[in-house]
Structure 1
Amino acid sequence: MAGSQHHVLDRPGFDNPVKLLIVVAPYYKDIADALVAGAKAEIEAAGGTHDLIEVPGALEVPTAIGIAERMSNFDGYVALGCVIRGETTHYETVCNDSSRAITLLGLQGLCIGNGILTVETREQAEVRAEVDGQNKGGGAAAAALHLIALSRKWGKKGKAIGFGRDILLASDTV
């Protein structure tokens, strides 16, 4: 709705730096680039660092995040891309399945900001992606940062190594 005001939470602060992985599907390269610019700026403003990977499409974004969670050491993730409605039902499949997979990963404890745009037109995507516009890339990064802050407030330190949490925590190896 044009002209409506939305409340934005204050940027969280961190005692220890955060590291995020930005996963982007650059099918619409200009839109993806704007989303990434917004996400990078938000992460850097919070004092965090980031890595960036590209995947073929929105359906591969959650898979890449799942792989990174199992094999790397990121505090959180930013999922970016754009799906514009076409003439077939493929739009619904891509929108629903990518969103559902990201939600399921989040329910497993991953800190993910979902910035995959699902729009009717290219013009809608451009407005939402622009850093000086709606800045949905920055918003997705902010969401991930807020979830990381919550996980640090309530969670245990370290990730499990081996077959379960009772065996050895990564923080115990230092």
Structure 2
Amino acid sequence: MAEFSGEPRGEGRRIVVVASRFNESITVPLAEGAVSTLVAKGVAFDDVDVVWVPGAWELPVAVRRALATGKYDAAVVVGAVIRGDTPHFDFVAGEASRGLMEASRDFEVPVGLGLLTTDTMAQAEARAGGAHGNKGEDAALAALEVLDVCDRAFAHDEGDEADA
């Protein structure tokens, strides 16, 4: 049996961060957290592109267009959908998440999910650098780790000994 795990290594990687402007007081710290984490893990600053879209609904199409270029090893997505008094939340949060998952599956490229779906602004603030950390950082780490584990588990020749 072979067992594989990855490390969040960014050297030689090119990453796109796609961020929603809606709820900007939340999404700016999430995007900043993602970028600073990518750079801290070895991604060259010039190899990180940040793309801003109006809201969470627009995240999947922007990610798909970015991945279709073939320029990026992974995407990190940040946004915030905060529940209100209408069912709008349910449609936007679910469909945006599904669209991002489909982009990752279709392009076989990791998409780190930093799309907050919270009941209140206070919950979002707690996850954008507050008491619950910065989910933009977590999404960046996840994307890099998946890249590394995929390289380790699937990029070797069948006859080679796996580097677990």
TM-score when normalising by structure 1: 0.78
For the residues of structure 2 that align with 1:91 and 1:53, how far apart are their CA atoms?
23
Residue of structure 1 equivalent to 2:112 = 113
For the residues of structure 2 that align with 1:150 and 1:10, how far apart are their CA atoms?
4
Greater relative contact order (Cα < 8 A, sep 6+): 2
The total of aligned residue pairs comes to 147
Q: What is the SS of the residue equivalent to 1:59?
A: helix
Aligned-residue sequence identity (percent) comes to: 32
Residue of structure 2 equivalent to 1:78 = 76
Unpaired runs of at least 5, structure 1: 1-8, 157-174
For the residues of structure 1 that align with 2:24 and 2:37, how far apart are their CA atoms?
20
User: Structure 1 residues 59 and 126, CA, compared in 2 at 3 Å: closer, same or farther?
Assistant: same
Q: Is contact 2:78-2:113 (8 Å) kept?
A: yes
Q: Is contact 2:6-2:145 (8 Å) kept?
A: no
Residue 132 of structure 1, CA deviation? 7.0
Residue of structure 2 equivalent to 1:136 = 135
1:102 and 2:97 are equivalent in the alignment: no
Q: Is contact 2:15-2:49 (8 Å) kept?
A: yes
Q: Is contact 2:7-2:148 (8 Å) kept?
A: no
For the residues of structure 1 that align with 2:96 and 2:65, how far apart are their CA atoms?
15
Residue of structure 1 equivalent to 2:91 = 93
Q: Is contact 2:6-2:146 (8 Å) kept?
A: no
Residue 134 of structure 1, CA deviation? 1.5
Q: Report runs of 4+ in structure 1 exceeding 2 Å deviation.
A: 9-14, 150-153
For 1:31-57, what per-residue CA distance to the aligned partner results, in whole angstroms no more than 9, with x for missing partners? 111101110121011111311010011
1:41 and 2:39 are equivalent in the alignment: no
For the residues of structure 1 that align with 2:146 and 2:96, how far apart are their CA atoms?
19
For the residues of structure 2 that align with 1:131 and 1:77, how far apart are their CA atoms?
24
1:17 and 2:16 are equivalent in the alignment: no
How much is the aligned-residue C-alpha RMSD, in angstroms? 2.0
